[in-house]
Structure 1
Amino acid sequence: MKTLQPLTLDQANENSKAIFTGIKSEIGMLPNLYATMGVSDKLLGGFLSFTETLKSGEFTAKEYEAIALATSQENGCAYCISAHTTIGKMNGFTEDETLAIRDKTIADEKLNALVKLTSEFIRLKEHPTQETIDNFFEAGYNKSAFAELIGAVALTTITNTIFHNGGFDIDFPKAQNIEQLELV
């Protein structure tokens, strides 16, 4: 049974209503994920604030979307894969590149080092191999980026977990090859 459901504006408390209104005015819609997170205005507000802070850090918009795609792929989240495929393409990725990120075969060596480390954080339960860490630093990333990567993986894992425990539809164009994930 799915515990969390998207809230309508009428169901939301005053703080969530204000956040919903801001999201809708900024991006033109209120994604089901955010409408569901709004069951707690503290969760949604804190999530959005932390996300905004991290997006002003070490990673480019494309790198941030690569992290979100790799995390969502490892966590099997069809909703977030679809959302970040759409956003990734808005930030310059091709469809094929989004698929390559998910498969950890992106041709760009720096992005590949980032994607592989991201995937290992999930797959190896926060204990990536030293070789993968070394490759990340050799690709040109620094310790600030390493720390921010941990934060970005954690934020994306929150949204993945909300979807897995929520009863809502994917309201972005569905990404390729997610059919098997929708059953998760």
Structure 2
Amino acid sequence: MSDHKIQVPTPEQVDAKAQTIFDQLKKQLGVVPNLYATIGYSSDTLENFLGFSGKAGKGSFTGKEIEAIKLAVSEANACQYCLAAHTALGKMAGFTENETLELRAGTIADARLQALTRLAGNIARNHGKADQELKDQFFAQGFDEKALIDLIATVTAVTFTNYVHGTTQVPIDFPRAKALEAVAA
């Protein structure tokens, strides 16, 4: 029985198309995050993912709301990599450390963010079968059908990275997110 461990590829281990995308990511972010580099084993998947993820939710949600969704879904999927990344990005978007934890737990005081994160987490936990009560709360906050589809797209985009990390377990290259249990205790 083999114990094949997935390594983060170097630029030399991926094709020219992935190398070009890595160069673009370096210009935009300053680094190529380990998870994106790992997705780069398939340059077509990396290109398609970045295009989809970069647009998912943009028509209905602010950047801050998109980070809230990604935190809630990453918590639902127990993805330590994405929790670390989106905690850092959430703070950059204006959330406090405590607010990132409340978004993950679905306890944020802001009713709009609460409806958004509870529904997002519910969609992830129930494999797309959302509870009617949470959908009703979402619509009661002024969101419409377009926003619902944009929410599902955002949930799908972050679920992909959650699954990539869950399967590969590549090293986390962001400061680790606090555990919810440690905060609740």
TM-score, normalisation: structure 2: 0.93
The 5 A counterparts of 1:3-82 are: 4-82=6-84
Query: Are the aligned partners of 1:6 and 1:37 in contact in 2 as well (CA < 8 Å)?
Result: no
Query: Are the aligned partners of 2:82 and 2:161 in contact in 1 as well (CA < 8 Å)?
Result: yes
Tell me, yes or no, if structure 1 residue 145 matches structure 2 residue 147: yes
**Deviation (angstroms), 1:123:** 1.8
Q: Which residue of structure 1 aligns with residue 172 of structure 2?
A: 170
**Deviation (angstroms), 1:56:** 3.0
**Deviation (angstroms), 1:167:** 3.7
Identity of aligned residues (%): 42
Structure 1 110/2 Cα, relative in aligned 2: closer, same or farther at 3 Å? Answer: farther
Q: RCO greater where, 1 or 2, for CA within 8 Å and sep 6 or more? A: 1
> Which consecutive segments of 4 or more residues in structure 1 shift more than 2 A?
1-5
Query: Are the aligned partners of 2:105 and 2:180 in contact in 1 as well (CA < 8 Å)?
Result: no
Letter in 2 for 1:108: D
Cα distance in 1 for residues equivalent to 2:83 and 2:97:
12
User: What CA RMSD, in Å, does the superposition of the two structures yield over aligned residues?
Assistant: 1.6
Letter in 2 for 1:46: N
**Deviation (angstroms), 1:55:** 4.9
Tell me, yes or no, if structure 1 residue 116 matches structure 2 residue 118: yes
Gapped regions of structure 1 (runs ≥ 5):
none
Cα distance in 2 for residues equivalent to 1:2 and 1:94:
39
Structure 1 2/134 Cα, relative in aligned 2: closer, same or farther at 3 Å? Answer: farther
Q: Which residue of structure 1 aligns with residue 103 of structure 2?
A: 101
Q: Secondary structure at the match of 2:22?
A: helix
Structure 1 66/128 Cα, relative in aligned 2: closer, same or farther at 3 Å? Answer: same
**Deviation (angstroms), 1:128:** 1.2
Cα distance in 2 for residues equivalent to 1:127 and 1:28:
38
Q: Secondary structure at the match of 1:71?
A: helix
